[in-house]
Amino acid sequence: MTATTETLHVAAPRPGGSLGRSVRDSLVVARRNLIRMTRIPEMVIFGLIQPIMFVVLFSYVFGGSMMIGGSTSPAEYRNFLMAGIFAQTVTFATAGAGAGIADDMHKGLIDRFRSLPMARGAVLTGRTLADLVQTTLTLVVLAVVALLVGWRTEENVGKVLGGFALLLLLGYAFSWIGALIGLSVRTPEAATSGGLIWLFPVTFISNAFVPTENMAGWLQPIAEWNPFSATVQACRELFGNPGVSPSDAWPMQHPVWASLIWSVLIIAVFRTLAVRKYRSAAT
């Protein structure tokens, strides 16, 4: 009788408003995923290798052949490049987020969470928050590597930190796209492939690696209104690395606002779709 009473007591929802319980449950799930990451350090290590390779390869292989602001100086291209590499790093983490959720679905872990008295969106929110922490650590290491290869900022610390905050917000927004993909496929491998297929055109049809003025005329508006381009341009301004004069497109003239609007809109839309997908799968 005592054991039964204790079991019922554990299963009962904890007091508190729905928002407070959702936040609490999300933090519990985030903590679970962070502990898992520490027990599999190769996940973090391999996540660092690719962006570091991009920094070194683009800086030293393409640095002397790219013309930025009328100059082919490797230093000019390096400063122009780094905002794009940072943005690419935080968005490519989306594929890993989707694969992780698909793996949890495949192993039946999500079904266990569904049986618990917890907020429906907490599982996905906790997962994306844990991925955000990992992305933050990756970004810190990448910034150190960038400084070692010669990248420099020309603005105060507040603006530089604001640029990194925009990068993390974009990465968090894109992680919800990864969550939706992870819930929509049946294997982690499919989630990884599905996560990368759309990321390549988003990151390369942008101002990340070359000025949009060098693109075909019909492609320039697509690149300029790309959410990824808005964040890259905002970071260049906040870092003091503009490189080239922006076009007359509104997102390029007001990149900080454009980046914020795009990121919040993506979170609102894809979080809603992902939670709805999670709920429908639970019924």
**What are 65's two structure tokens?**
């052949």
Please state the rounded mean pLDDT for residues 186-193: 80
| C-beta of residue 223 within 8 angstroms of C-beta of residue 233 | no
- For residues 51, 53, 59, 62, the Cα torsion angle rounded to the nearest 10 degrees is -110
Look at 6 and 86; give whichever has higher pLDDT.
86
Does pLDDT of 170 surpass 50? Answer: yes
Identify the band that residue 1 occupies on the pLDDT scale cut at 50, 70 and 90. very low
CA distances from 109 to 37, 100, 113, 130, 175 (A): 16, 11, 7, 16, 19
Per-residue pLDDT, 124: 85
Per-residue pLDDT, 281: 65
Going by C-beta distance under 8 Å and a sequence separation of 6 or more, which residues neighbour residue 108? none
Please state the rounded mean pLDDT for residues 250-278: 93
Going by C-beta distance under 8 Å and a sequence separation of 6 or more, which residues neighbour residue 22? 119, 121, 122, 125
DSSP symbols for 133-163: HHHHHHHHHHHHHHHHTT----S-HHHHHHH
d(CA 270, CA 121): 12
Backbone angles phi, psi at 154, to 5 degrees: -120, 10
In single-letter form, the type of residue at position 241 comes to: N
Model confidence pTM above 0.75: yes
Give pLDDT tens digits for 65-116.
Answer: 666 665 566 677 888 888 999 999 899 888 777 877 887 777 766 667 666 6
In single-letter form, the type of residue at position 147 comes to: L
Per-residue pLDDT, 248: 86
- For residues 199, 200, 203, 205, the Cα torsion angle rounded to the nearest 10 degrees is -130
Identify the band that residue 15 occupies on the pLDDT scale cut at 50, 70 and 90. very low
**What are 150's two structure tokens?**
């010669």
Give pLDDT tens digits for 197-251.
Answer: 889 899 999 988 888 887 888 999 999 999 999 999 999 999 988 777 778 899 9
Per-residue pLDDT, 16: 47
Per-residue pLDDT, 17: 54
